[in-house]
A and B are shown apart, each in its own frame.
Chain A
Amino acid sequence: MALQLFLNGLVTGLLLALPALALTLVFGILRFANFAVGALLTLGAYAAYTANVVLGLPLPIAAAFAAGTVALASLIADALVFERLRTRGSITLLVASMGVSLVVENICRFIFGNAARSFDLAVARPMRWNGLRINHEQLITAGVVIIALVLLHLLITASPLGRAMRAVADNASLAAVRGVERRTIARITFALTGALIGLAGVLAGLDRAIDPLMGWNYQIPIFAAAILGGLGSPIGAVAGALLIGVAEEMSALVLPVSFRQIVSFGVILLLLLFRANGLFGAKAIRK
């Protein structure tokens, strides 16, 4: 039982890792917490639903379509809202992102209504291994997220674009006088994180019903994961997501399942009280 919950928790954590990473990257490079991450996740699920069920495309193509749609939506939000408020400080941007969140959520509701929907996917019997149940959706989620994380890691650590992103996160005005256009890096960051959130939306749609409020189930765990890992730290966000995922699932051993969300709130509360920089937030470098 405990092992099964641990396994489920790891998969839940992997699902959280993509949007938590998106949140932390935007925070590091653009210096604000993007509250619209949950609503964009919902949008990703609906985009995939449209491609998969309405247009009848296979799920992998629908997932690519979802990633593209959310990337585009993020770019539009940047052009219409975030870029215009860039000099106004992180609280203004945070509040603006709440507005974007409401707009995106209600666009989904306007188009698709409140009814719960799901992908066109054959129901498969879960695999059994040493008494553990592993279903296909979990395998897909784990595979997709791990591949995405490896690619993203290579991008950030070993490519010119990744260097530029880290440079802007480190010191934006110095990056500007080294020839890195902040504007370009901001757009690329929004597109990239949008794609990650869109992908997570598809994976969330495999796990549960798609409805306009589905993003809210992930909002608090995503923030808890990113803060736990230390906002701005990509590796921290992934570790935080795994910890939150496992903690949420394992809480079923001691708490009624409907109280799951307490775990994320509790983690945020404890961090604010004792370690506001998160686990990985303490800089290894003395400034």
Chain B
Amino acid sequence: MTARPCDPKAEELSLALAVSGLRAGYGRGGDIVCGIDLAQTAESIVAVIGPNGSGKSSFIKTIAGLVPTRAGTVAVTGRDITTLSPARRVASGLAYVPQEANIFATLTIAENLKLATEFLRGRAGVGPEQREKVLDLFPELRQRPRTLAGNLSGGQRQMLAFACALLANPEVLLLDEPSAGLSPKIVGETMEAVVRVREAGVTVLLVEQNVAAALGIADEVVVLVAGRLTLRASAADIRQADLAGLFFGKAA
């Protein structure tokens, strides 16, 4: 971790993502996300892990704006985005890659890439330069631009989804289970891609069911149980910890 600045104001500004008191749920049901605070410094990778149904996916969807926020705030690089629509959040520097169906299957690769920035008027750093940078990270995408994205393999889809999210030149990238449905070899490649993304200067928050894969790349791990954060630790510390105890011991 970087040294903490003394001035609290300066500290807030150096945070890429600041979530405080976040509550969310669906329809008229109870809260699924029950008051989460999470601060993340720039260019770090934080992994959210936890048992099935603990609200990990809902948490990340709430940050992206797809689940309505009931209370609390979300700020990206010090700017409050809680009231913005999902589309406006992207323009504010927050990109999100959903778990599955994260590409437009009925559009071609080229159309997917084009659409990723077409409606982001006013977002700084979006343009041909960013496009080159992103396509250098995922060189396969330059081939076969006219292929329908729906005909890509699982790993290729994931790369296309990452590329589309990165074309928006985000400060923060939210990944919902990037390893879901991929073979072990492709999981490794996907995790390497996440590290490359961070090296390109992006802050990454990922939800991951595959704890081993997440621990391999994350700086910090937070454990989510029943909609609440129960633990936050550096990835190095948690490697020795008893994960079963973390997951179930504190679940009321």
A residues within 8 Å of B by Cβ? 160, 163-164, 166-167, 169-171, 173-183, 283-287
When distances are taken between beta carbons in the complex, the residues of chain A under 8 Å from B101 are 171, 174
Most A-side CB within 10 Å, residue of B87, B107, B114: B87
When distances are taken between beta carbons in the complex, the residues of chain B under 8 Å from A178 are 87, 90, 115-116, 119, 164, 168
Q: Which single residue of chain A is at the shortest CB-CB distance from B161?
A: A174
8 interchain residue pairs of minimum CB distance: A285-B150, A176-B86, A179-B119, A170-B104, A179-B120, A179-B90, A177-B96, A181-B87
> When chains A and B are docked, how far (Å) is the Cα of A164 from the Cα of B111?
10
When distances are taken between beta carbons in the complex, the residues of chain B under 8 Å from A173 are 66, 86, 98
Q: Which single residue of chain B is at the shortest CB-CB distance from A185?
A: B119
B168, A179: Cβ atoms closer than 8 Å: yes
Q: Which of B104, B118, B119, B120 contacts A174 (CB 8 A)?
A: B104
Q: List 20 A-B contacts (CB under 8 A).
A: A164-B118, A167-B104, A169-B106, A171-B104, A171-B105, A173-B66, A174-B98, A175-B104, A176-B87, A177-B64, A177-B86, A177-B89, A179-B90, A179-B91, A179-B117, A180-B87, A180-B115, A285-B105, A285-B148, A285-B151
> When chains A and B are docked, how far (Å) is the Cα of A188 from the Cα of B89?
22
When distances are taken between beta carbons in the complex, the residues of chain B under 8 Å from A166 are 104, 106-107, 111
Q: A173-B98, A180-B87, A181-B87 are in contact. Are A167 and B150 (CB under 8 A)?
A: no
Is B102 in contact with chain A by the CB < 8 A criterion?
Answer: yes
B116, A174: Cβ atoms closer than 8 Å: no
When distances are taken between beta carbons in the complex, the residues of chain A under 8 Å from B151 are 285-286
A-B residue pair count with CB separations less than 8 angstroms: 86
> When chains A and B are docked, how far (Å) is the Cα of A174 from the Cα of B86?
9
* Interface residues on chain B, size class: 20 to 34
> When chains A and B are docked, how far (Å) is the Cα of A169 from the Cα of B164?
18
When distances are taken between beta carbons in the complex, the residues of chain B under 8 Å from A284 are 148
When distances are taken between beta carbons in the complex, the residues of chain B under 8 Å from A177 are 64-66, 86-87, 89-90, 95-96, 98
Is B85 in contact with chain A by the CB < 8 A criterion?
Answer: yes
Known contacts A175-B115, A179-B168, A183-B85; 14 further A-B pairs (Cβ under 8 A): A164-B118, A166-B106, A166-B107, A171-B104, A171-B105, A177-B64, A177-B66, A177-B87, A178-B87, A178-B90, A178-B168, A179-B116, A181-B85, A285-B106
> When chains A and B are docked, how far (Å) is the Cα of A183 from the Cα of B107?
21
Q: Which of A160, A163, A176 contacts B66 (CB 8 A)?
A: A176
Closest CB in chain B relative to A89 CB, distance in Å: 12
When distances are taken between beta carbons in the complex, the residues of chain A under 8 Å from B86 are 173, 176-177
Closest CB in chain A relative to B39 CB, distance in Å: 23
Q: Which of B85, B95, B105, B116 contacts A176 (CB 8 A)?
A: B85
> When chains A and B are docked, how far (Å) is the Cα of A175 from the Cα of B103?
9
A170, B118: Cβ atoms closer than 8 Å: no
> When chains A and B are docked, how far (Å) is the Cα of A166 from the Cα of B120?
17
B115, A167: Cβ atoms closer than 8 Å: yes
When distances are taken between beta carbons in the complex, the residues of chain A under 8 Å from B90 are 177-179
Q: Which of A160, A163, A287 contacts B107 (CB 8 A)?
A: A163
When distances are taken between beta carbons in the complex, the residues of chain A under 8 Å from B150 are 285-287
When distances are taken between beta carbons in the complex, the residues of chain B under 8 Å from A175 are 104, 115
Closest CB in chain B relative to A229 CB, distance in Å: 16
Q: Which single residue of chain A is at the shortest CB-CB distance from B119?
A: A179
B105, A179: Cβ atoms closer than 8 Å: no
> When chains A and B are docked, how far (Å) is the Cα of A285 from the Cα of B66?
26
> When chains A and B are docked, how far (Å) is the Cα of A164 from the Cα of B117?
11
Most B-side CB within 10 Å, residue of A173, A179, A183: A179
Q: Which single residue of chain A is at the shortest CB-CB distance from B174?
A: A177
When distances are taken between beta carbons in the complex, the residues of chain A under 8 Å from B91 are 179
Closest CB in chain B relative to A184 CB, distance in Å: 9
A174, B85: Cβ atoms closer than 8 Å: no
> When chains A and B are docked, how far (Å) is the Cα of A175 from the Cα of B65?
13
> When chains A and B are docked, how far (Å) is the Cα of A167 from the Cα of B108?
11
Closest CB in chain A relative to B103 CB, distance in Å: 8
When distances are taken between beta carbons in the complex, the residues of chain B under 8 Å from A183 are 85
> When chains A and B are docked, how far (Å) is the Cα of A177 from the Cα of B63?
11
